[in-house]
Structure 1
Amino acid sequence: MLKILRRLLAGRRAEAPVRTPSDTPVEKIDRADTAEQIEILARGGFETEASTRETILDAYLNPDVIAADDRRWVEAEVARAFARKRADEATWPLETDFDRLAIAFDRLDAAGIIALHCAGYTRSDGISDAAEVYHRRKERGRASRGFVFYHGQDVEAVVFGQGLYLAFGSFDDRDDTRAAIAAEIVAAMEAQGLRTRWEGDVGTRILIHPIQWLKRSPSDDPREA
């Protein structure tokens, strides 16, 4: 999600006035808001402790104006959030809903439906990422019929206990193909014990609900990756 937050905040940062180091004021951060963002990244499960710290300090906050005590607080809060997450992970079942989702995505991907986890921050980001994978695979002689993904905003929602929405589409842009791909996605989720809601409208996303978002975080140690 480092790339996700950088995309989200690029516009905001671009609008900020340019200052030289000598006239840049030191500002206090909103610790409650920052703690929530840290928790989202930790619970989302796509970032390590180190990358979360980097994201918050260098992308979510303005590194040029953050006070030294706030920087230390961020580093400590990230450590606390990941300590809580690791403690919780020790109590999780061997296979979680995320693991079942990942199995379904792997099987869809093998069947020619590009399946992407946390693809960008918005729907347009996800479509762009799917198109990029499509062209890359096509160059290698691998055909793809369609795609399925969820994006960063969907992860934020599911972390807070909501369902997970899956966007989908086809590369021939035909409604009957899209409907067939949606049916395959629904079947793949149901085969893993994940309950879905979809009314057959190719203009609406598939909802997985309920889902308990338990995704183990990657390690900062490359030897454990």
Structure 2
Amino acid sequence: MKQDIKDEAIEQLDKDILFGFYDANGLFESISDMFYDENDFDETWLKNEIHLRLKKHQIESLNWKKPTGFDRLVVSFDTLIKDKIVALHKAGYTRQDGEGDCAEIIEELSNNGIKVLGYCYYHTQDLERAIGDEQNLFIGYDSYNHNDELAMDVANKIVKTLESNGFNVNWNGSLETRIQITDINWQKTVDNVDYNYSRVLDIMQANTPIKENATQNKKPKPFWKFW
């Protein structure tokens, strides 16, 4: 196995561990998939590196000040979801991925009779900036129907919610620019929690009143049906 392949694998592995979304199995699958065409790729070496580096990261996390920036971001996004704004963590790799994921879950919510105001997300490229020297996390957003007036309301809700949870937020008020969390100290370890689809669905459904006419519109079965 060539040294340059090892270096590339370690570089990506260190990023993924800092992101904090993959467990050991997820890390192995993600990294090994990158080098599927390398005939001499050493999977045993990779498993060992994952074990050592993931354990080191988890030990370091014991000394983190709580709540971490990610903890506060989860509270912020959960609050936004309760306010009918789909909020997704690590939604794909690019802006197109993030918007596609949001559109998909908005459609599913709509099919379940739940209407939303809009959405927000950050993707993997955004996380790379957050763990880098910039330490900035950009948040993409829009209204569910791309209406500018509603999108402005959504953006203002996002900014207000982030600020109320202690984040420094930079946004110029233009719908052409994303919302920026500045000086974020990204600290997260794997916790096997789904912060995307299932979390949004669970929170939305729990905070959506059941319509009174949902059962009233159902016609009673004729008495003979019960025999």
TM value normalised by structure 1: 0.80
**Greater displacement, 47-56 / 211-220:** 211-220
SS of the counterpart of 2:86? strand
Residue 216 (1) aligns with residue 216 (2) = no
Q: Does 1:189 align with 2:189?
A: no
How many angstroms does 1:66 deviate by? 2.9
The equivalent residue for 2:39 is: 65
**Residue 139, structure 1, aligned to residue 111, structure 2:** yes
Query: Which of 5, 14, 25 lines up with 1:50 in the alignment?
Result: 25
Deviation digits for residues 140-169 of structure 1, max 9, x if unmatched? 111111000001111122122421000000
CA distance in 2 between counterparts of 1:53 and 1:165 reads 28
Q: Distance in 2 between matches of 1:185 and 1:61?
A: 39
Q: Which runs of 5+ in 2 are unaligned?
A: 194-227
Where does residue 14 of structure 1 map in the other structure?
A: none
Q: Give aligned-pair identity as a percent.
A: 30
Q: Tell me, yes or no, if the aligned pair for 1:42 and 1:49 is still in contact at 8 Å.
A: no
Equivalent of 2:51 in 46, 59, 79: 79
Deviation at 1:92, TM superposition (A): 1.0
Cα drift, residue 63 of structure 1: 5.5
Which amino acid in the other structure matches residue 49 of structure 1?
A
Q: Distance in 1 between matches of 2:36 and 2:107?
A: 36
Structure-2 separation of matches of 1:172 and 1:55: 34
Letter aligned with residue 79 of structure 1: H
Q: What residue is the counterpart of 2:123 in the other structure?
A: 151
2:67 to 95, 101, 113: 95
How many residues in Structure 1 have an aligned counterpart in Structure 2?
A: 192
Q: What TM-score does the superposition give when structure 2 sets the normalisation length?
A: 0.80
Instruction: Decide which structure has the larger Cα Rg and report it.
Output: 2
Are 2:79 and 1:110 aligned? no
Q: Check the 8 A contact 1:28/1:66 in 2, yes or no.
A: no
Q: How does 1:192-203 map to 2 (within 5 A)?
A: 192-203=165-176
- Check the 8 A contact 2:84/2:116 in 1, yes or no: yes
Q: Report if the CA contact (8 A) 2:139-2:179 is conserved.
A: yes
Q: 2:99 aligns with which of 106, 127, 150?
A: 127
Q: Give the drift of 1:121.
A: 0.7
Contact 1:29 1:66 in 2 (8 A): no
| Alignment partner, residue 22 of structure 1 | none
- Counterpart Cα distance in 2 of 1:152 and 1:165: 11
Counterpart secondary structure, 2:59: helix
CA displacement at 1:137 relative to structure 2: 0.5
Are the aligned partners of 2:21 and 2:192 in contact in 1 as well (CA < 8 Å)? no
Classify the secondary structure of the residue corresponding to 2:36: coil
Alignment partner, residue 39 of structure 1:
14
Deviations 1:2-40 (A, max 9, x none): xxxxxxxxxxxxxxxxxxxxxxxx866522221110011
In structure 2, the partner of 1:11 is: none
Q: CA RMSD, aligned part only?
A: 1.8
Which digits, 9 at most, give the CA deviation of each residue in 1:51-100, with x for residues without a partner? 1012111x111255134xx3222122111210111111111123101000
**Paired residue secondary structure (1:179):** helix
